[in-house]
Amino acid sequence: MFWNWMHDPGAGPYNSIGNGCVARVSVAHHFSNSAKDAAQLSQKLSALTHNHPESLRVVELLSRALSRVSVSGRVGDIREVLESGDFNLNVSREDLLASRVDFSERVTQIVEPALSAVMVGTSFEDVMRICIHRGGDVDSICSLAGAFAEPVFGIPDGILLQALAKLPPMMREVLEKALGLERNIIVQEGL
């Protein structure tokens, strides 16, 4: 579907309420110089395809929350912003681990599972394990959770190096440059 859309010169936004819109928020933040620029870029990138009002509302909330937590490193900032948008992140670790997530591609259905894991997690790896344990659209949930877990906990070097080692050289080079990593860090580390 995406391939056909991408190559159709007459194609435009298709009013999607899918979770693909939130995948663009962290990218916008990495390539912006201010919270305002990140919010505008998040909206523009998301609206290319996911221009449903609910998608854009969630993108705006996530962009504000990511801007705040990127500066403060405090999970309370995530809760404050998201709960102002009617998401409930007030859940205990025990309740979170005891519950499962139904698979859904709707953007509104991945925010609480992803960010609740960040709220109760103790490390980047712990957040990922919680998301995987609970199920649902795990790749999307982990992607969103990871974007918020990074400024709170950092990504352990071992996890980052393993992830980079799995990428084709061209993609790895782009990411190394974008993330400001030393060139060929994977070769230097012997991975």
Write the pLDDT tens digit of every residue in 155-172: 999 998 898 889 999 998
Do residues 179 and 163 both lie within one domain? yes
Do residues 116 and 190 both lie within one domain? no
Do residues 65 and 89 both lie within one domain? yes
Q: Is residue 5 part of a domain?
A: no
Predicted structure pTM score: 0.89
Do residues 96 and 28 both lie within one domain? yes
Q: How far apart are CA 49 and CA 62, in angstroms?
A: 17
Rounded to 5 degrees, what angle do the CA atoms 43, 114, 165 make? 85
Q: What is the mean pLDDT of residues 21-35?
A: 90
Do residues 109 and 121 both lie within one domain? yes
- Main-chain phi, psi angles of 115, to 5 degrees: -80, -25
At 51-78, the pLDDT tens digits run 999 999 999 999 999 999 999 999 999 9
Residue 144 has pLDDT above 90, yes or no: yes
The pLDDT value given to residue 55: 96
Do residues 110 and 161 both lie within one domain? no
Helices 138-153 and 53-72: crossing angle in degrees, nearest 10, is: 30
> 41 near 28, Cβ under 8 Å?
yes
**Total tally of structural domains belonging to the chain:** 2
Q: What is the mean pLDDT of residues 136-143?
A: 96
- Give the single-character DSSP code of 52: -
Do residues 133 and 75 both lie within one domain? yes
Task: Count the Cβ atoms, other than its own, within 10 Å of residue 120.
Answer: 18
Domain that holds residue 181: 156-191
Contacts with 16 (C-beta within 8 Å, 6 or more apart), sequence order: 49, 50, 51, 52, 55
State which amino acid sits at residue 20.
G
Place 34 in a pLDDT band, splitting at 50, 70 and 90.
very high
Q: Is residue 8 part of a domain?
A: no
